[in-house]
Chains A and B, each alone.
Chain A
Amino acid sequence: MREPVHSFTHEAMTTTFEVIIAGQEHAYARQASAAVFREVERINNLLNKYDAGSDIGQVNLLKADERVRVSIETLECLEKAIWAYHISGGLFDPTIGTGFHELVVDRSTFSVGWKKGGKGEIDLGGIGKGFAIDKAAEILKDWGVDKVVINGGTSTVLARGKEWDLGVGGPWGTKAGFTSVHLKNQALSGSGTEVKGAHIINPKTGKPATRHLAAWAIHPSAATADALSTAFMMMAPEKIKLLCAANPGTVAFVVAPDESLIKIGV
């Protein structure tokens, strides 16, 4: 018998978050989803670059050689971004080429800032939604809600607790025959040219990413999947293969310019 599910939505981070919960009563699922959305708002208040009082807003206002104390969550998210930056050869770059290598993240003083040489402008749009999903999923452990899908505006989705059959939207997926995926304790994130046109800027060239038509990344962490899908849009398939091999649990689906589907790590 199919288990009934309850779904709830919330506007945040300029998109619609959705929580789908199985195995709980509706009222309890609704309260738990409200706790999820509160956590998403809390993370947004730390990472929102448009708010001068947020952690990232403050970091962007700093000059070279200045530091500011930030929250532990901002440190964690930036550390993950730095990892993705290095592992992608600089193609995942939250400063879009303006100086991510100048960033200093100092755990011992809970501070973030810039080296003496210069500074960049951080936009965590390529990882923040996934990071908020990971954090929100931690809250649900307290609630005893284990079978859940958390969806950040259809670009990043985390599926927990059972095997979820999820649709993969978009014209390139359909054309390439990639329309659904089974996930359990994994996140899927997609980047492509169909939703906003070619909106990913290659930090190396300053031009829109055009290597692939679309790319998806699967990883246990939604933040990691979010960052990798952006990087995969710009990475050669051989490089993606190396990355997936070096990081067990990472899977990539890429739609090449000839509309063929390349599967890596499956």
Chain B
Amino acid sequence: MELNRTQFMQTAAAAGTLLATTKARAVENAKLAAKKNPDQLNIALIGAGAQGRILTESCLKIPGIRFIAICDIWDYSQRYSQRYLKKYGHEVNVYEDYQELIATEKDKLDAVVIASPDWMHAEHANACMNAGLHVYSEKEMSNSLEKAASMVHTAAATGQLLQIGHQRRSNPRYIHAIEKLIHEVGLIGTVTNATAQWNRAKTEDLGWPKKYEMGADTLAKYGYNSMTEFRNWRWYKKYGGGPIVDLGSHQIDLFEWIWGVNPKSVIASGGVDYYPNHEWYDNVMCIYEYDTPDGMARAYYETLTTTGHRGFSEAFRGVNGTIEIAEVPQRGNSALREAHAPDWQPYAEKGLINSVAAPIAKTTTKNVAVDVRVTAEAGAWPLPVELTKPAHQPHLENFFNAIRYGTPLNCPGEKGYETAVAVLAVNRAVASGQRIEFNPSDFHA
């Protein structure tokens, strides 16, 4: 099977082959390479909460990455991450104030991973880039487009790398499905529609251990109204964008990847239907229109936080078939052929998809002129590429490879901004009850 660039890089790295080529490339890109030592990138984490821990665990599996500092305003998170990293032999300096971290550590650092609440991403990322540090920032770039744009501007002005955490963009399964099967091979024909959802069963607000409750002074110093709001910031307008941003952003980002254009409009419905103490919409449904080179395409998206029905997955629907996929393969990992589509067996023989048992065979019914039945059920052809790493690891590897070898970023700030424009518009559409039309210029920071 022919590998694309990302798969090639991963295969090469995993097998330890082609080391000479990689080293040569590192030398060629000496200016892009790590400031101090490309064999060991020194990094810091700003925001050591739930997402920061996931990214930390993935970073620890990548060779040559060393944590030297962490920052969080909550001592509970500081303590957890410091202890966790110590188990791996990473002795880190701990900061409550990110400015102090940057001032003290910037000369030793190559990059910073940012997983703070959305409203702080821009402030943290801009300060890091202005100090000469590369940045991996969690999505959403911000809950304010103005702040998101400032990150793109800072990256351009400083020349620092800015990767946004839409990790599906580095997932070999998604790269195979979208770039290989849909774009290159045309397996499912013209894609006229996409649908995706991320639905979760109802949950309680997050609590906190009593002995680690932050004082009102500390909370106020960092802009949080209460411990409840700090722990559940995703539900409040000041700090986040709600479920459409937290969950939807990952999947709505894929629509642009599929069609190569940003949406021309969005309509949406949603509301605070179930959780009376929350500010953001707990259930949101929206429809985007994409004016693609192949004609008009539409995408439906829903995020429901009151039912787990259908979980999370995406479906890209073409005239010859549908690709069902999800970050967890058990929830979606196959191509479904339309009955009229050309034979897919040749694609299976090339290893592009796995073959399956034939779909329900047509049977002949005796003594009738016409056998009326529904279209034969599509056969499900499993996708052959596995992600044999935690979901965020390839995206972090792409970021570190960009620092070391000049590998192009899979989701640079500009791309993250386009998605932020599309996604944040949904909340405006819900609030106004109005259809939102986009201009192509809206997507340029």
B319 in the interface, Cβ–Cβ < 8 Å?
no
Contact of B209 among A51, A58, A71, A143 (CB under 8 A): A143
Contact present for B388 and A53 (CB under 8 Å): yes
A61 at the interface (CB under 8 A from B): yes
**Could you tell me if B210 and A144 are in contact, using CB atoms closer than 8 angstroms?**
yes
Judging by beta carbons under 8 Å apart, are B88 and A52 in contact?
Answer: no
On whether A58 and B389 interact (CB within 8 A), knowing A28-B207, A144-B210, the answer reads yes
User: Could you tell me if B388 and A144 are in contact, using CB atoms closer than 8 angstroms?
Assistant: no
A144: B residues at CB distance < 8 A: 209-211
Using a CB-CB cutoff of 8 Å, which residues 38-92 of chain A contact chain B? 45, 50-54, 57-58, 61, 69-72
A241, CB-defined interface residue at 8 Å: no
Q: List 12 A-B contacts (CB under 8 A).
A: A31-B207, A34-B207, A51-B328, A52-B329, A53-B387, A53-B389, A58-B389, A69-B61, A69-B63, A71-B57, A71-B60, A71-B61
For the complex, is B87 an interface residue (Cβ under 8 Å from A)?
Answer: yes
Instruction: Report Cα–Cα, A42/B317, bound state, in Å.
Output: 33
Chain A neighbourhood of B294, CB < 8 A: none
The answer, among B60, B76, B203, B386, for a CB contact under 8 Å with A142, is B76
Interface residues on A, range: 20 to 34
What is the 8 Å Cβ interface bit string for chain A, positions 3-39, against chain B (1 contact, 0 not)?
A: 0000000000000000000000001101110110000
- A sample of 20 more A-B contacts (CB under 8 A), given A34-B203, A53-B391, A69-B61, is A27-B207, A31-B206, A31-B207, A34-B206, A35-B207, A45-B390, A52-B388, A53-B390, A54-B390, A58-B388, A69-B60, A70-B61, A71-B57, A71-B60, A72-B84, A72-B88, A142-B76, A142-B212, A143-B209, A144-B211
Q: SS class of chain B's interface: helix, strand, loop or mixed? A: loop
Contact B209 A142 (CB under 8 A): yes
Map CB proximity to A onto B374-398 as digits: 1 under 8 Å, 0 otherwise. Answer: 0000000000001111110000000
Asked, given contacts A50-B330, A71-B60, A142-B76, whether A32 binds B388 with beta carbons under 8 Å apart, the answer is: no
Q: CB within 8 Å of B: which residues of A?
A: 27-28, 30-32, 34-35, 45, 50-54, 57-58, 61, 69-72, 110, 142-144
A32 in contact with B207 (CB, 8 Å): yes
CA distance A198 to B378 in the complex (A): 39
Report the bound CA distance from A30 to B63 in whole Å.
39
Tell whether A61 pairs with B88 under 8 Å between CB atoms, given A52-B329, A69-B60.
Answer: no
Are A31 and B204 within 8 A (Cβ)? yes
Give the residues in chain B near A35, CB-CB below 8 Å: 207
Chain A CB count within 10 A is highest, among B329, B386, B388, B391, for B388
Residue of B nearest to A24 (CB): B210
A61 to B387, alpha carbons, bound, how many Å?
11
The 7 closest A-B pairs by CB, nearest first: A31-B207, A143-B209, A69-B61, A52-B386, A142-B209, A72-B87, A52-B388
Q: Which residues of chain B in 76-110 are interfacial with respect to chain A, using CB atoms and an 8 Å cutoff?
A: 76, 84, 87-88
Please pick, from B88, B204, B210, B391, the residue contacting A34 in the complex, using a CB distance under 8 A. Answer: B204
Q: How far is the CB of A125 from chain B (nearest CB, A)?
A: 17
Q: What is the minimal beta-carbon distance from A142 to any residue of chain B, in angstroms?
A: 5
